[in-house]
Chain A
Amino acid sequence: MTTQVETAHMETGQTDRTALWREVASATGPADRAAAEEGVCLAYRLAGLPEPEHIVWAGSPHEGVALAARLTAEGTAGRSVRDAVRTRPWAAARERVLERLGPSGWAAHWALTGAQLWDVTVALTERIRTGVVEASTGVAADDEQAVRLVLLDAVLGQHDAAWLAAFDGQDGAEALEGISAVARAAGWWWPYEKTAVVSERPVELHRDEAGRLDRADGPALAFPDGFALHAWRGMPVPAAFLDELAALTPRRIREEENAELRRVMLEHYGYERYLEESGAQPVQRDKAGVLWRIELEGDEPLVMVEVVNSTPEPDGTHRTYWLRVPPRTRTAREGVAWTFGLDEADYTPEKET
């Protein structure tokens, strides 16, 4: 029987482990190649396979896909052994944890471990996949299919952190020691019979507080070979678009025909500045804030609540921030209530800091 103190102890251990895997998932900088290569060899041995004859390094998942495609086409790599190296030990480890904890125990365990990292890493890997497909494909329609197939053979290295956090310290995790070691040391990798292709980690990773890729003055994600993704608060944007942000004018913003890009421009330029320079007047004000509205050609109007932070900054001033609310909003209070999923009448905070 497990006492409450022991349970609390185990939970703390899991929390610490999950925190470490959170760092693995967002690690940047050169791979620890020696550790990664040892991990690769261990993963093959644990799967009952001979170690690969060659380990080839790529500067990014993009280059990794290209190398994997070339080496398999040349016939020097052999067939993919991803199933034996990753999928089977994975399934076995999951089976053992599930058997021991039962379905509801597993759900509880997952909530405390993998689930904490899942959303952010899934969003990032999806974005990388899309970026690799876009960067790899030429004119031929079957190119894309080929790239997608190679992507299916990838083991996600550091981006497998959510699952690895769930198995860490559990019975049966020994079978995953090889892929865990690679995850701690490198990026995505491709196990083939005779060759393993291993990718470097990013050199740049910039995200906002919600974990979305976000950077105004350069790539939000960049690898040492130059493969890079540009994004503003999670929204993919062209690299050239960011160069333009430094020299925006209200007129340029009004003339932008792509509504999404115009929104990014507005956010970057600053709503306050835009409103001031366009001579906009507040629509309404109440204790919750000030409601503003800007009509936009060919798009729904931009309706914003200007809210003052309740807690003063260290210098005694109060920071203002802006929340975009649905266009039908009539009062600042209704707008703020909406941001919390409430009706205006139900939004009655007695204390705000």
Chain B
Amino acid sequence: MYRQGDVLIVPVAEEAVPPGTDRLPHQPRDARGRLVLALGEVTGHAHAVVGPGTLVREAGPFGASYLRLPDGGRVVHEEHAAISLPKGWYRVVRQREYAPGAVRVVAD
């Protein structure tokens, strides 16, 4: 598994990807043609994949994201070093923080 800032990218065996995941709507690429795993609302800084692949998000606020990279790819971010990913399926997890009575996402 790979961590870039507040995003964890966990390899998943193809058999372990929930059935139907590939039929969920593919997330659009941004204006620079990248797949955005997580976007900072203010700076616009993004954890993003360059190169071929697809990203889907399960419905709901706690739905998981799945990334499929047929040829591998690179995850980039304005403030973190890039990470190369081998080809395959990944689960993308956004970091959360504990708050008594609630859980909230981390925004770095």
Contacts and interface: CB of A to CB of B under 8 A. Distances in A.
Interface of A: 11-12, 14-16, 18-19, 107-109, 111-112, 119-120, 207-211, 233-234, 259, 263, 299-300, 303, 309-311, 321, 323-326, 338-342, 347-353
Contact of B41 (A11, A210, A309): A210
B3 A352 contact: yes
B105 interface: yes
B24 to A, nearest CB: 8
A15 B8 CA distance: 25
B42 A11 contact: no
Interface of B: 1-5, 8, 24-25, 27-31, 40-43, 45, 57, 61, 77, 79-83, 93, 95-100, 104-108
A325 B98 CA distance: 5
B82 A112 contact: no
Contact of B99 (A14, A109, A324): A324
Contact of A111 (B25, B95, B96, B105): B25
B2 A350 contact: yes
28 contacts: A12-B31, A15-B30, A16-B31, A19-B31, A107-B25, A109-B25, A112-B25, A120-B41, A209-B43, A210-B41, A233-B104, A311-B5, A311-B79, A311-B81, A323-B97, A323-B98, A324-B98, A324-B99, A326-B98, A338-B98, A339-B95, A340-B96, A341-B93, A341-B96, A351-B3, A352-B2, A353-B4, A353-B81
A208 B40 CA distance: 8
Contacts of B95: 323, 339-340
B4 A208 contact: no
B27 A111 contact: yes
B28 A15 contact: yes
A351 B108 CA distance: 18
Most buried by A among B1, B81, B93, B99: B1
Contact of A311 (B43, B61, B80, B105): B80
Sort A-B residue pairs by CB-CB distance and give the 3 closest, nearest first.
Answer: A209-B107, A108-B25, A353-B81
A78 to B, nearest CB: 40
Contacts of B5: 309, 311, 353
A167 B60 CA distance: 22
Contact of B82 (A111, A259, A347, A353): A353
Contacts of B77: 353
A209 B97 contact: no
Contacts of A19: 30-31
Given A208-B41, A208-B42, A353-B82, A340 B107 contact: no
Contact of B28 (A11, A234, A323): A11
A330 to B, nearest CB: 14
A20 to B, nearest CB: 11
A208 B108 CA distance: 9
B88 to A, nearest CB: 14
Nearest to A108: B25
Contacts of A210: 41, 104-107
A208 B99 contact: no
Contacts of A120: 41
Given A11-B29, A351-B2, A352-B3, A263 B99 contact: yes
Given A340-B93, A348-B1, A350-B2, A211 B41 contact: yes
Given A112-B25, A210-B41, 14 more contacts: A18-B28, A108-B25, A111-B25, A209-B40, A263-B100, A311-B81, A323-B95, A324-B98, A339-B97, A340-B8, A341-B96, A349-B3, A350-B1, A353-B83
B9 to A, nearest CB: 9
